[in-house]
Structure 1
């Protein structure tokens, strides 16, 4: 199982978050252009730096020019994060964790959430934003949980039907169309949360620190 971390040019994450995933099999670090600046600040060495290279600092470029594989794509028809994902798919990576894809620019954040929807069928994707862990699902899933864990669910259209077991506020074959209905801050009341999904995709967002503390990540 090949796994990679894609570090973008948004708000830098805590280094401990990256090292946690590196210790759990995400052993290739790909920086999306200016994500290399964050890698430099965090004393991390990327395996690859990919993008149009208009955001990487001179200091980062000098630091990594002989240590990382630098791949420049000047095309402007896709974002640097998309370039990294296309590279990962081409290199047969099975999973990619997106970090640094949120921050001060709401348009960039919104774009990157859209990229998750665009690519999740081609590569197993997850995303870290601050202390939140987001993962898309288009199939039935059983989540390892603890009582009291916050579990938020978001759908996108009225066709997608969701049924839950193990949540305080149960969902029974209902849709969560974006902008109309959601299941924010639902609460686990079991050590297993089962979600059945029909005809679409949903985002499930959980707290990273809770998951790490209680061993709730289900790594393959």
Structure 2
């Protein structure tokens, strides 16, 4: 049985055009599109309809709000003063509605505090037993807790950033700088700016959490 998948369009920098976004939706088999507050403005520019708009609605324009209401898009409004970001509220909605794989776009750029919160949101998603990837035109970001294979990514830059204080038993193969059973630490920059050199690269670790940043170089 296939997993339910949702695309979350956040309010950071958005570098995908309509064709690219539709291709991702088709390729990944995404079932549901959620505009997280100001993400709805980005979808309006692309002339795409979300299945849901959620958040405190302090970023969506009144014109776009009226447009989506006319199109019968479901809107869930939360108070402006709250203990969660709109993105976290959207993730909780996905959990409550049995989505298992999440794709986050427009999660980078813009306000630095929101960008950091979105990166840490990956760990929250992991903690509630969902899978997630941040995607953009050239960048993919996600968590590794045991192993990850990268296929047909030769020439991509790969950075590994400890999310836990220590990542133990890290092994890397298929890259310019490979490792065998090494510990790396969040306070150091050991895993930054590697380069995939093989048709298949692999990262394995014995304990801890890593955030990987996979970047297609120009």
TM-score, normalisation: structure 2: 0.88
Is 1:61–2:65 an aligned residue pair? yes
Q: Partner residue of 2:152?
A: 145
C-alpha deviations, 1:65-92, integer Å up to 9, x for none? 1431101122611010001100011111
**Any residues of structure 2 matched to 1:35-46 within 5 Å, and which?**
35-46=39-50
Unaligned runs of 5+ in 1: 211-220
Q: Partner residue of 1:115?
A: 121
CA contact (8 A) 2:157 2:217 kept: no
Residue 209 of structure 1: CA displacement?
A: 7.9
Distance 1:58 1:80, change over 3 A: same
C-alpha deviations, 1:156-200, integer Å up to 9, x for none? 322433111211201222233224123222122221112111211
Distance 1:155 1:17, change over 3 A: farther
Structure 2: distance between partners of 1:127 and 1:146: 17
Residue 46 of structure 1: CA displacement?
A: 0.6
Residue 130 of structure 1: CA displacement?
A: 5.1
Distance 1:208 1:135, change over 3 A: farther
Residue 110 of structure 1: CA displacement?
A: 0.7
Residue 134 of structure 1: CA displacement?
A: 0.8
Is 1:90–2:92 an aligned residue pair? no
Unaligned runs of 5+ in 2: none
Q: Name the Cα RMSD after superposition.
A: 1.9
CA contact (8 A) 1:155 1:175 kept: no
Is 1:135–2:142 an aligned residue pair? yes
Q: Partner residue of 2:210?
A: 202
2:169 aligned residue (147, 161, 165):
161
Residue 129 of structure 1: CA displacement?
A: 4.2
Structure 2: distance between partners of 1:199 and 1:92: 28
Q: Partner residue of 2:87?
A: 81
